[in-house]
A and B are shown apart, each in its own frame.
Chain A
Amino acid sequence: MKTMVLGRLAHVVVVLLLVSVASMLLLELVPGDPAYAILGNSATPDAVAALHHRMGLDRPAWQRYLEWFGGVLHGDFGNSLRTGQPVLEAIGQKLPVTVELAVFALLIALVLSLPAGVYTGWRVGRPVDRLTSGLTSVIIASPVFLTALFLDYFLAVKTGAFPATGWRALDGGLAENLRYAFLPALTLAVTEIAVFTRLLRSDMITVLGEEYIANASAKGLPTRHLLLRHALKPASFSLFTLSGLSFGRLLGGAVIVELIFGVPGIGQLMIQSIQSKDYIMIQGLVLLIAFIYVVINAVIDIVYVYLDPRVRTEGVAI
């Protein structure tokens, strides 16, 4: 148990180191000079040299990396090339919006996929199951930007029930905030709903075929109780793992949705940074998102052990 946690930690550290080196290498890979990308092609050599000095580009890459990395260890990710704002501060302003969207999306996904997965896993092959299975394969195939436009068109442009784009901060009132958050959150949720439903369905099918379900059924318990208490718990372990992974992905992958719906989150910051070639910001964002992703992964692995009583006592690493 303890070795497993330590092993995970070591793995996390190595992966993060690699990610940080890779994000540094991105800078090195840039064809031409980033200074021109920032100052424009008509920049004077003096201005370029000054910028080089300011960015530390006149020193070797490994030195800059160590310096940047030393800063990162102290919580200093450098300053944005575009605005001069400290990277961490900029991220801190945008992160809550993205986190809210991710949480909202995950809630929608779980609320809808739990009943759908349980029902279709129970009534396999019935019309509802077939319909759901067809629907989920289309949804899973659909790129996010299509789903977003589709929902935008039918729920906002056509009916006007929700605003097509824009964002209202939480301090402008919860109802208004949720009205604006709903469409982007739903878009993010749609794919997760499809994936969750499929996973839960197949796990339910497996569990319902187990001897202990037949045995519990022979106790004369009501079907609802069998499904929700006896079958759902063992069937939901992998759903739990997956929803954790989804949360990590939603934090980093909401770029397109944030762009389409005009949500001022991490994704939008990323797009802006890329368009203005703000490498320091990109580096910070990539490292932070990779960090969140890797940590969530490790946490899930460890929490899982506590969740499943079988693994808990046996101390089996997954």
Chain B
Amino acid sequence: MSDFPSSARVVVIGAGIVGNSVVKHLAAHGWRDIVQLDKGPLPNPGGSTGHASNFIYPVDHNKEMAHLTLDSQQQYEEMGVSVTSGGLEVARTEARLHELNRRMTSAKSWDIDSRLVNREEIEELVPFLDVNVVLGGWFSPTVSVVDSLRAGTLMREYAQQLGALSVHPVTEVLDIETDRGRISAVVTNKGRIACEYVVIACGVWSPRLARMAGASIPLTPAVHQMIDVGPLEILSATNSEIGYPIVRDMDTFCYERQTGGSMEVGSYAHRPIFHHPDTIPSIEQARLSPTELPLTMDDFDPQLEQAVELMPFLGDAEIKYGINGLLSLTPDAMPLVGETPEVKNLWSCAAIWIKEGPGTGRALAEWMTQGYPEIDPHASDIARFYPYMKTEGHILARCAEHFNKTYGIVHPREQWDSRRNSRVSTLHATTSALGAVYFEAGGWERPHWYESNAPLLEEYGDRIPERPHEWDRRWWSPIQNAEHLALRDRVGMIDLTAFAIFDITGSGALQFVQYMTVNQVDRPVGSGIYTPLLTEEGGFRSDLTILRMGEDHFRVITGGFDGARDAYWFRKWLPESDCVTFTDITSSMSTIGVWGPNARRLVERVTDDDVSHEGFPYGTWKHATIGSIPVTMFRISYVGDLGWEVYTAMEHAPMLWETLWEAGQDLGVVPVGAGVYGTTGRLEKGYRLMGAELESEYNPVEAGLARRLVKKADFVGKEAYLKARDEEAAAVCCTLTLESYVSTSGVARFPMGGNEPILTQEGDRIVDRKGRVSRVTSAGASPSLDTYLFLGYLPPEFAQEGRSLQIMYQNELFPVKVARVGSRPLFDPDDVRMKS
């Protein structure tokens, strides 16, 4: 075909809701010469969009998801393809009623209209629902239903009208070519298109396309069953596509959604059924469409009974249509967006559902155009995975585990059950013997607390308030608080092997590291530097510490949760020449933290090196020998006490632990878990955490992490950073104290920190001038100060020490007080303990 393009700036593969959103927003962001391909015909190429239920519940506990969904909902409305139906979630269990309170709280955070409803109100909303089956419900009037296929057509047309897009359906991609790790062309059955960029937006087929380029998009096609039953006169009588609210029968993992005169019943309750991207039938082979596979009725049968139980009139309706519809699942249930770490200019926009499609398309276009999206996408960032997480075994195991949690009640601290022990340090046997309870950190098994510390409860029990509600105690132990107090009183040892560690070396290393970081890294060899890394827009991309190991050698130490994203970020900016070498040495290193007032006395016993305050100042590192083990020691602390991070070769870690452990016995050494390191110790010191307080929507000035001076050297985000320094911060990160464990209505709770809104005393949301809502970014006990702490951003008019505010938790209001504005710690505010 003569009109088939031989070149393009960007080729977008896929014409479902995602691909269409991407082409629209790329065009809106000024991109031209966009070519969109799909193997199927238009307007329904046969992917997941074609059989989607198309309803949108905007409330999500996750901020990124909530914002992407709200943006999408608005875009659908603006295109005129949206009907507001309202949505009802019903609870059959007490646990679900509790969860609905949590949904009320998230709805408040994101300013989404919703209310709890009793049986009478449910009956009024949905008269054909048997209210005797339910205990109560939650209603959100803004839940909507959209026409995602029509939206897709409109979005393509938008780009076409700008002269930005040519669309080629029924075109199969056969190969994606790369040249020195960068996209160079897309080969199709109609010809080869030379191009600079490729966006893979083809849902369940995405892994197959990514593999053509040597990249990985870790998702699995999975079945979501639905049936269409009717005709139902009550529904036909509405004379509309949807006249009644969508009902989610949360405890049976099912929904009932009117579609004209029929009811669609969908289920997330059946066994996980996975397919492989390579064996999805072709359009010709498929009876309905490639992603509408034959319904395996046996799997759906139990849901029929539950549906009829909830809505008896469904019993006499006919099952007119039923499918095993394919959709995309990922190992952590979040989308896969961003540039693939493997191939430059190859972008993924996959594992996205109708509800967040247009918003994610916009975010991707912003990301490709200006460097980073407006909505912080870190939880969707495809660079978040370590290699083992992209294997089929891991993907399938984790997807099998979370599929039935689609409508499940997922605790914010909930741990995975499958594929544990994928990453274990050589300390694992040691910490296991001490009764470690492991939480996963970037895949590593990291001790969260130690059951062997239970006897500490006798010593400290009276300083640890009881948590009466099971939800607040879940995935938690009072031992964490006891470990905290023992560390503050004596000394603790913490397994920090989950750190990701990179070496950056070469003649260009200094210039490169300077360019990546906000703070001055041109400090003497032996220095350790804490620094933010910014996006080009000046928001947080990362925060980490860097050791100057040599003139041309920097060692980066960052958190296990962010290691993969950080490695991608550094590699992305590496100069083309070979003057800088980036090496991930995580797997060769183990780290043990030793902190507490007795830390120096402990270490002195096992080393001949000078560990005195003068001989080993705060913020410096040294090579040393502990017992017979060569180590690198860095005098720093994330828990606010005297001590070191001690790094050694992975194989030495058990002996290093043993040496320190024995030396500390009469000093009262205790093993301490990440519950202290990541929460209680950190919060008392007001230390910010990447992914919680620190995200791309906030800058260092707002986080209270801007230094007095700005280095001369240029760095990523510098211009935006300088601008932020000149402006009054729109919000400031503050520490708040809980004034009472008892809510205004008399319920005793321990708010655990998951985007709970911070409210005025009148109960109003607090929004800064950039439109960002004040919410709890971290929460946890402060055992040393005998209080309970929250971190969160407040606009200047609220950021006043002593100011009384409220937080909402589980739909209850609790009084809080602003205890600190900015980063000055509540505990040991002058850092005397760790700096002496």
Do they bind each other? no
**What residues make up the interface of B, taking CB atoms closer than 8 Å to A?**
none
Residues in A lying within 8 Å of B, measured CB to CB = none
